[in-house]
């Protein structure tokens, strides 16, 4: 009985939307933590390398966390893609029907969600290739030999093409999260009255702060030079 109920929930459109919402909010939380760590670039090489080394020192736990994040991302991506296809099919069936005025117009941010999501997927793949699995250097901090991820990062942003791509991707991230943040709470049923307006405002502030923060760091690194 319980298994049947669970299968019915996850197989329903509402269930899938709520899973997209939950996984999206989890990814939003990860971005805040990731951005906070990245700001150590401005503190200096030792601070950033120590931060990275402490994460690497978690060993198997770090791999478990990354695997969890990867699963969250894949679930979010897969279900969002499925819902997009279903919505397109539904619109195709209803294209001759008279549209009702619901008072909810399609915004640029909502209309471009699939496309900004695709940009972010490409960005993530390239980001991992060029930084996490990019050039490897070593440095010594406090007598401990560790990876010089600071040098790898600064070399990457020394290329203006990389910086331009990074900024474009972060604009897409801001657009995606600005709509996705509020939409997630709406999918979870938290879209009542003035509280939802505040949630939308928080979403916009979050999107500008996170997207702008990452973009700012890439430009700062370029201007500072290797």
pLDDT per residue as tens digits for the range 80-98: 988 888 877 776 655 444 4
pLDDT in tens, 187-206: 888 877 778 888 999 999 99
Q: Which among 198, 202, 185 is positioned nearest to 21, based on CA atoms? A: 185
Mean pLDDT of 91-117: 66
Q: What was the pLDDT predicted at 107?
A: 82
Q: Decide if 49 contacts 141 (C-beta within 8 A).
A: yes
10 — pLDDT class (breaks 50, 70, 90): low
Give SS3 for 171.
helix
Q: What is the pTM of this model?
A: 0.87
Query: What are φ and ψ of residue 53, in 5° steps?
Result: -65, -35
- What pLDDT is attached to residue 190? 80
């Amino acid at each position: 009985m319980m298994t049947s109920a669970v299968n019915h929930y996850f197989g329903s459109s509402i269930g899938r939307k709520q899973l997209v919402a939950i996984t999206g909010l989890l990814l939003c939380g990860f971005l805040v933590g990731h951005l906070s760590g990245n700001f150590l670039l401005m503190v200096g090489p030792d601070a950033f390398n120590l931060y990275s080394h402490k994460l690497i020192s978690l060993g198997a736990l770090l791999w478990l966390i990354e695997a969890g994040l990867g699963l969250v991302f894949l679930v979010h991506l897969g279900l969002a893609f499925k819902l997009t296809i279903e919505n397109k099919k539904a619109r195709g069936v209803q294209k001759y029907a008279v549209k009702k005025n619901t008072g909810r117009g399609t915004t640029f941010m909502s209309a471009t969600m699939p496309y900004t999501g695709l940009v972010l997927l490409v960005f993530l793949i390239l980001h991992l290739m060029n930084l996490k699995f990019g050039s490897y250097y070593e440095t010594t901090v406090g007598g401990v030999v560790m990876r010089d991820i600071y040098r790898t990062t600064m070399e990457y942003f020394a290329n203006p093409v990389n910086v331009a791509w990074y900024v474009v991707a972060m604009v897409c991230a801001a657009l995606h999260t600005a709509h996705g943040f509020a939409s997630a709470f709406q999918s979870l049923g938290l879209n009542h009255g003035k509280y939802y307006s505040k949630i939308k405002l928080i979403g916009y502030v979050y999107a500008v702060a996170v997207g702008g923060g990452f973009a700012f760091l890439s430009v700062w690194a370029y201007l500072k030079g290797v």
